[in-house]
Amino acid sequence: SESNEGADNLVGPIGQVLWKAEQKPTSGDTTATRQQEPLRVLYVITTLSEYDKGTRGTTRGADRLQNVVIPVIQDGIVSMVERGWHVDLYLLCGYEELLPERRQLIQDVLPDGVGLEVWDDAMPYYYSKGNAAKPKEGQSLDVASHGLSRQHRYVVRDKLLQYDFFACFEDDMRITADHVLNFLEISAGVERLRLKAEQSADGLVHVEGESHRDPSTRGKSLDKAE
């Protein structure tokens, strides 16, 4: 169909996702409109603290959820919805419970059609002493705050077939539609090189007409590394 024109030129799964992401929002009830599905994005946020602890230049007790997390979420998701993508939000909380009234603060800034799931008390546990495969007798489990950033793996596993793209990051990182498109463009370019190499006689990609850059124009390392 006309809506899929150009998709076959971007071979490979990443290229297909890029093509989908680049499609402009459509209106009306034409056959092409019905056939063109929007890019499906799961926006996964890992948030360790609902309120600041006073470390790293923050003010103890400051409302991190309202002052940092919600503005970042709103900015990123709105930018994606405006491109016509279907977006859902998944929040991984390192604290015991996101109260209903606090959850409502998030829900209120989300555009229509954006789903919200919350994993309360998502902190994993570990045995803090030693690297033995089995814990010692009487050894207790401790909360692994350093492991919260890895919990998104379980979300991706459970929802792998429901979305085209997973954006997973910490709660103070601003990721917009432009960042997603840039990532997909670079990734699709690398994918095309790999596919080209697989089809060549020697299994290599040959660069023609490459540009040469004067080393003196490169940025200088601040740590004087060579």
Digit-coded pLDDT (tens) for 155-188: 999 999 999 999 999 999 999 999 999 999 999 9
User: Can you give the pLDDT at residue 140?
Assistant: 81
3-state SS class at 113: coil
User: Can you give the pLDDT at residue 2?
Assistant: 41
Radius of gyration of the chain from its Cα atoms, rounded to whole angstroms: 22
DSSP 8-state code for residue 51: B
- Percent of the chain predicted with pLDDT > 90: 52
User: Can you give the pLDDT at residue 32?
Assistant: 46
Could you tell me which residues are beta bridge partners of residue 88?
Answer: 42, 115
The C-alpha atoms of residue 119 and residue 218 are separated, in whole angstroms, by 45
- What does DSSP say about strands 40-47 and 86-93: parallel, antiparallel, or unpaired? parallel
Of 67, 62, 52, 41, residue with least CA distance to 169: 41
Residues 81-95 have pLDDT tens digits of 999 999 999 999 999
The C-alpha atoms of residue 156 and residue 151 are separated, in whole angstroms, by 9
User: Can you give the pLDDT at residue 219?
Assistant: 63
User: Can you give the pLDDT at residue 196?
Assistant: 84
User: Can you give the pLDDT at residue 213?
Assistant: 67
Neighbour-count burial of 188, counting CB atoms closer than 10 A to its CB (0-12 exposed, 13-18 middle, 19+ buried): buried
CB 195 within 8 A of CB 12: yes
Could you tell me which residues are beta bridge partners of residue 166?
Answer: 42
Look up the pTM and report it: 0.78
Could you tell me which residues are beta bridge partners of residue 143?
Answer: 125
The C-alpha atoms of residue 127 and residue 139 are separated, in whole angstroms, by 7
Q: Which residues of the chain have pLDDT under 50?
A: 1-3, 5-10, 30-34
Structure tokens at 74: 């709103």
Largest Cα span, the chain: 67
CB 85 within 8 A of CB 107: no
Structure tokens at 96: 């015991």
User: Can you give the pLDDT at residue 33?
Assistant: 46
User: Can you give the pLDDT at residue 146?
Assistant: 85
The C-alpha atoms of residue 113 and residue 85 are separated, in whole angstroms, by 11
